[in-house]
């Protein structure tokens, strides 16, 4: 490329520049740390070439085509299929010296996701996904240059925020998962309001209503998708809080309006073949379900409280029940000691840990 006047979208790069390999991604988390940055500002199209995603000649052609059509070179490359959205997000992260997150691999923290509402996530096109070791809130964004959104998120969450870059499609999918249960609750309430004779006196009839069934099924399906080991239904006198236990940590997922608590409680009891008329004594039961082709065993326990009956559903996904020692992360000296103990002719091996830590 000559050093004379060039396209306004692209800064000339020295011919001796070599391609820089992307920073390695942590295969366990999906989070790629930023690589050391070179001096001077760069266009995203420069970074696309540096990372080896697209050849320089193709980028130059995209610049000319973008000038003619009023589009950016990146949009031209995306539309032509020469560049994927994941590659574009990695180039943006490298351009700003930020970490990149693959939300298909990274497991967002539910407590972080619940720091903002779905509407705010859609408005900012961003979603909190976890807390860093230093307590800073990690926020997945497609456009990390949106300083106003970052300032608003800092005020809304009460945390210092650090943007990490994700593809537009990944963020949209995450926000969609965030809204699934809220939409199910809203739809259930709306369908109940539209029914004639809204006062339902028969608890069993309420439990068999389509909105109630859809809501309970949505909660269970979401829990299985999130890899939860338990679902907690906790009435507090005003509404029923729904929390998932993921990796041993309880995180609030949604809330059920007071008017629907009786129907939801009875529906769960019916699933476990429990007595819906008994509300003063603890009960337990079991049910087997198929959720999106996955066989799941569920143990259901009810416990009376001053605000009503609380329910805990313990989930056992049979597809994930048998894990190898490698999958459990056991290696080195602990693994050798564990395997040696198993081959002894006497003694016992104890598997201990808190609820949801993976003992089963």
145-165: b or e for each residue (b if 16 or more CB lie within 10 Å)? ebeebbebbeeebebebbbbb
Residue 293 lies in a domain: yes
**Who contacts 84 (Cβ-Cβ below 8 Å, separation ≥6)?**
78
Residue 281 lies in a domain: yes
**Residues 146 and 204 occupy one common structural domain:** no
Residue 56 lies in a domain: yes
Residue 175 lies in a domain: no
Residue 299 lies in a domain: yes
Three-state DSSP at 171 gives helix
**Residues 253 and 342 occupy one common structural domain:** no
**Residues 224 and 135 occupy one common structural domain:** no
Count of the separate structural domains present in the chain: 4
Return the pLDDT at 342: 80
C-alpha 310/C-alpha 344 separation (Å) is: 44
CATH of the domain at 143: 3.30.300.160
**Residues 60 and 88 occupy one common structural domain:** yes
**Who contacts 287 (Cβ-Cβ below 8 Å, separation ≥6)?**
271, 272, 273, 297, 298, 300
For residue 40, what are the CA distances in angstroms to 12, 37, 95, 340? 12, 9, 11, 57
Residue 245 lies in a domain: yes
> What backbone phi and psi angles, to 5 degrees, belong to 218?
-65, -40
Residue 30 tokens, joined: 């999906």
Domain range enclosing 121: 110-170
Helix, strand and coil in the chain, % to nearest 5? 40, 20, 40
Residue 357 lies in a domain: yes
Residue 186 lies in a domain: no
Sheet-wide strand order for 283-291: 249-257, 239-246, 230-235, 308-317, 294-305, 283-291
Q: From first to last of its 360 residues, what are the pLDDT tens digits of the chain?
A: 444 444 444 444 444 344 455 555 555 578 888 877 654 457 888 888 888 888 989 988 988 888 888 888 888 898 888 898 889 999 999 888 899 999 888 888 776 777 787 788 888 999 998 888 888 999 999 999 899 999 999 998 888 999 999 998 899 888 887 766 666 666 666 665 554 443 334 445 455 556 788 788 888 888 888 888 899 999 988 889 999 988 788 888 888 888 888 889 999 999 899 999 888 999 999 988 887 777 888 999 999 999 899 999 999 877 665 667 776 677 788 888 888 888 888 888 888 877 656 676
């Amino acid at each position: 490329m000559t050093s004379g006047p060039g396209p306004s979208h692209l800064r000339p790069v020295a011919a001796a520049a070599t391609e820089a390999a992307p920073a390695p991604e942590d295969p366990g988390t999906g989070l790629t740390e930023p690589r050391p940055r070179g001096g001077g500002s760069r266009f995203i199209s420069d970074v696309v070439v540096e990372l080896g995603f697209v050849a320089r000649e193709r980028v130059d052609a995209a610049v000319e085509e973008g000038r003619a059509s009023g589009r950016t070179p990146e949009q031209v490359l995306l539309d032509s299929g020469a560049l994927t959205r994941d590659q574009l997000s990695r180039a943006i992260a490298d351009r700003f010296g930020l970490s990149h997150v693959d939300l298909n691999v990274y497991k967002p923290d539910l407590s972080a996701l619940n720091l903002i509402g779905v509407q705010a996530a859609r408005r900012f096109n961003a979603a909190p996904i976890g807390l860093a070791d230093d307590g800073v809130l990690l926020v997945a964004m497609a456009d990390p240059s949106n300083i106003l959104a970052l300032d608003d998120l800092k005020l809304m969450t009460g945390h210092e925020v650090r943007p990490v870059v994700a593809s537009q499609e990944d963020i949209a999918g995450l926000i969609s998962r965030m809204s699934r249960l809220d939409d199910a609750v809203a739809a259930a309430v709306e369908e109940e309001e539209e029914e004639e004779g809204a006062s339902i006196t028969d608890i069993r009839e309420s439990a068999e209503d389509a909105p109630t069934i859809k809501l309970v099924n949505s909660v269970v399906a979401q829990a299985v998708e999130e890899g939860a080991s338990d679902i907690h239904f906790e009435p507090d006198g005003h509404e029923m809080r729904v929390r998932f236990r993921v990796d041993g940590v309880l995180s609030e997922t949604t809330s059920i309006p007071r008017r629907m608590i009786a129907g939801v409680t009875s529906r769960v009891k019916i699933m476990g073949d429990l007595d819906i008329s008994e509300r003063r004594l603890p009960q337990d039961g079991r049910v087997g379900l198929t959720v999106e082709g996955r066989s799941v065993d569920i143990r259901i326990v009810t416990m009376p409280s001053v605000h009503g009956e609380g329910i805990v559903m313990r989930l056992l996904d049979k597809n994930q029940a048998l894990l190898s020692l490698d999958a459990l992360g056991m290696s080195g000296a602990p693994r050798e000691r564990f395997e040696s103990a198993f081959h002894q002719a006497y003694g016992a091996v104890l598997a201990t840990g808190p609820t949801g830590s993976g003992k089963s």
